[in-house]
């Protein structure tokens, strides 16, 4: 059979490893053929693609980004989007479409499946917020990068007796902030799941400093928001797809800490550094496993499914069940994290 694949949404370490897994399984075990649509759904709509074979995937395992490109374009943004998707699929004789993406891309994949397109999903995002799976690939790498940064900030914070605010990604959920905050020994971590009270943050820092510690790390997820009526923050702008452009809450928090406590405070916004570069060993393995499993599902014509990590194994789950609700940070982990707040 001939299979199409695409990568959609923000890029993520491990995308190329998934592509490599799909292609290897297709070519070497099934004798199937794979093509990669360029720039996400945009290439599918516009019939732009590249052939993918084992040779084209050489050296891909450790490589960040995606060789087929990605955008946030979706078929449902256009009146004739779905018809154009189907026309490309017919023209190219594609019998299965593997969609590698996050919340927005997979929701569109679910709608496409309902509209008769044979789809298999693969959950991607550094934010780790896709329902139905314990882990998305890319998350482990982002946590490692954020933890390394926090480790480095500790020593400079201690040398100068400063508070260091570190803003990490996580637009709806605080998985990266929570894991990196715990791993990096943060004094306080702020997540989107729990609106924060800046006074409580400052009290925490003051208590710690009163005990003779003069340096602190505060981790802030980009989607963290103050409790209503406690602090005014600027409204985020939106990109051309109506997607909120986050980033900046770390500056607000740092400014308030310095103004309210008098402690010298600096801010580091990690931003896209968390998404670039080579995946960790864990993400290489998970991406490879997802890629191989997605190709198996496609070959079995088990459409409308998503591959997912559950209890240590990769299984198929219904895509529709995964896109109804994003996955929040486990409340027990948030509680464990709070044990270390001063
Ligand atoms: O969805 C993953 C993510 O990395 C978010 O954490 C972040 O808010 C967003 O992508 C950034 O997107 P962009 O690359 O469009 O700025």
| CATH number of this structure's domain 143-275 | 3.40.50.460
Check pocket membership of 110 for ligand 1, CB cut-off 6 A: no
For residue 150, is it left (φ>0), alpha (ψ between -120 and 50) or beta? Answer: alpha
Return the pLDDT at 332: 97
Return the pLDDT at 331: 97
Check pocket membership of 169 for ligand 1, CB cut-off 6 A: yes
| CATH number of this structure's domain 2-138+279-322 | 3.40.50.450
pLDDT of 235 > 90? The answer is no
Return the pLDDT at 341: 86
Residue boundaries of the structural domains of the chain: 2-138+279-322, 143-275
pLDDT digits (tens, 9 = 90+) for 272-296: 999 999 999 999 999 999 999 999 9
- pTM reported for the whole predicted model: 0.96
d(CA 44, CA 8): 11
Q: Are 44 and 4 in contact (CB under 8 A)?
A: yes
Is 140 considered catalytic here? no
Tell me, rounded to whole angstroms, the distance of Cα 258 from its chain centroid: 31
37 pLDDT tier (thresholds 50, 70, 90): very high
Check pocket membership of 223 for ligand 1, CB cut-off 6 A: no
Q: Are 306 and 123 in contact (CB under 8 A)?
A: yes
pLDDT of 246 > 80? The answer is no
Return the pLDDT at 30: 98
Provide the 10 A C-beta neighbour count for residue 111.
18
237 pLDDT tier (thresholds 50, 70, 90): confident
- Number of residues written out for the chain: 342
Which residue puts its alpha carbon closest to atom 9 of ligand 1?
A: 10
Q: Return the DSSP state at 38.
A: T
143-275 shares the fold of 2-138+279-322: yes
Point out the catalytic residue in the list 127, 129, 140, 283. 127
* Tokens (6 digits) for 328: 């929040």
Q: Are 202 and 172 in contact (CB under 8 A)?
A: no
For the four alpha carbons of 151, 156, 158 and 163, in that order, the dihedral sign comes to negative
Return the pLDDT at 338: 94
Return the pLDDT at 330: 97
305 pLDDT tier (thresholds 50, 70, 90): very high
pLDDT of 181 > 80? The answer is yes
d(CA 32, CA 145): 37
**Could you tell me what percent of the chain has a pLDDT over 70?**
100
For the four alpha carbons of 278, 283, 285 and 291, in that order, the dihedral sign comes to negative
d(CA 163, CA 324): 39
Which residue puts its alpha carbon closest to atom 10 of ligand 1?
A: 10
Check pocket membership of 246 for ligand 1, CB cut-off 6 A: yes
Return the pLDDT at 168: 98
Rg (CA), the chain: 22
What is the tally of helices (H) and strands (E) in the chain? 11, 13
Quote the ligand 1 centre to 278 CA distance (angstroms).
18
Return the pLDDT at 337: 96
d(CA 283, CA 306): 17
pLDDT of 24 > 80? The answer is yes
Return the pLDDT at 236: 79
């Amino acid at each position: 059979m001939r299979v199409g694949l695409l990568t959609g949404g923000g890029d993520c370490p491990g995308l190329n490893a998934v592509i490599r897994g799909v292609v290897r399984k297709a070519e070497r075990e099934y004798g199937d053929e794979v093509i990669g649509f360029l720039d996400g759904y945009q290439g599918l709509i516009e019939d732009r693609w590249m052939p993918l074979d084992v040779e084209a995937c050489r050296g891909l395992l450790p490589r960040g980004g995606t060789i087929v490109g990605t955008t946030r374009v979706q078929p449902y943004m256009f009146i004739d989007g779905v018809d154009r998707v189907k026309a490309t699929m017919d023209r190219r004789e594609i019998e299965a479409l593997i969609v590698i993406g996050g919340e927005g891309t997979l929701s569109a994949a679910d709608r496409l499946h309902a509209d008769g397109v044979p789809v298999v999903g693969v959950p991607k995002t550094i934010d780790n917020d896709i329902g139905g799976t314990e882990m998305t690939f890319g998350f482990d790498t982002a946590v490692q990068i954020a933890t390394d940064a926090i480790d480095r900030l500790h020593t400079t914070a201690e040398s100068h007796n400063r508070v260091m605010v570190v803003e990490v990604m996580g637009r709806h959920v605080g998985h990266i902030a929570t894991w990196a905050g715990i791993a990096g020994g943060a004094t306080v971590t702020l997540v989107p799941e729990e609106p924060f009270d800046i006074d409580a943050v400052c009290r925490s820092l003051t208590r710690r400093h009163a005990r003779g510690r003069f340096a602190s790390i505060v981790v802030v997820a980009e989607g963290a928001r103050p409790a209503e009526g406690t602090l005014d923050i600027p409204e985020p702008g939106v990109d051309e797809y109506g997607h909120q452009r986050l980033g900046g809450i770390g500056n607000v928090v740092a400014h308030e800490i310095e103004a309210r406590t008098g402690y010298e405070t600096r801010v580091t916004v990690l931003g896209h550094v968390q998404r670039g570069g080579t995946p960790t060993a864990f993400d290489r393995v998970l991406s490879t496993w997802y890629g191989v499993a997605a190709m198996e599902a496609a070959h079995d014509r088990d459409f409308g499914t998503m591959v997912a990590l559950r209890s240590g194994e990769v299984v198929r789950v219904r895509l529709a069940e995964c896109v109804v609700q994003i996955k929040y940070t486990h409340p027990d982990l948030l509680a464990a994290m709070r044990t270390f707040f001063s």
